[in-house]
Structure 1
Amino acid sequence: MAGNIIIRQRGTKVHPGKNMGMGKDHTLYALVDGIVRFERKDKKRQQVSIIPAA
């Protein structure tokens, strides 16, 4: 659901992707309703995106 916290973290271990927001404490949250998708961009960088629900 939009506004729900997906990840609480210290620093940017996981970066926000599409339809994700980042708080000032690096918390990642959903901007839209949909399916959460975790993906690795390279060896060090992981990204989380939201695929919007139809």
Structure 2
Amino acid sequence: MAHKKAGGSSRLGRDSESKRLGVKLNHGEQAKTGAIIIRQRGTKYHPGKNVERGKDDTLYALTEGLVAFTTKKMLKFNNRLKSTKFVNVIEFTPVKTGVSSDK
């Protein structure tokens, strides 16, 4: 007679697939037009200048530039101030170095 119970299959033990959320481009990094800056659920980060929010709350760049994170104190509906995080893309024109093409 067996002294161990047979190891049956369990209906538990499954986990959901990760959604790969989070910050994709950090402060000071270069963003191209349409580049995803943050994937999020809800609005932990709000869009600032040259940043748009997608239908799944993803923040992406509207222009090419440098990513900048800022915080502002915003007045909420109950007259309380709350610190809110904004993501901006600061436009820049790259400076070309080297020999000029004028001859």
**2:84 is matched with which residue?**
45
Structure 1 length as normaliser, TM-score?
0.93
Unaligned runs of 5+ in 1: none
Q: Which has the higher contact order (CA 8 A, sep 6+)?
A: 1
Greater per-residue strand proportion: 1
Structure ID, larger Rg: 2
Give the TM-score of the pair, scaled to structure 2. 0.50
Mapped to 2, the partners of 1:53 and 1:32 lie a distance apart of 10
Q: Percent identity?
A: 56
**Alignment partner, residue 17 of structure 2:** none
Q: Any runs of at least 4 consecutive aligned residues in structure 1 with deviations exceeding 3 A, and if so which?
A: none
When the two chains are superposed, the root-mean-square deviation of aligned CA atoms in Å is 0.9
Unaligned 5+ segments in structure 2 are 1-31, 74-81, 94-103
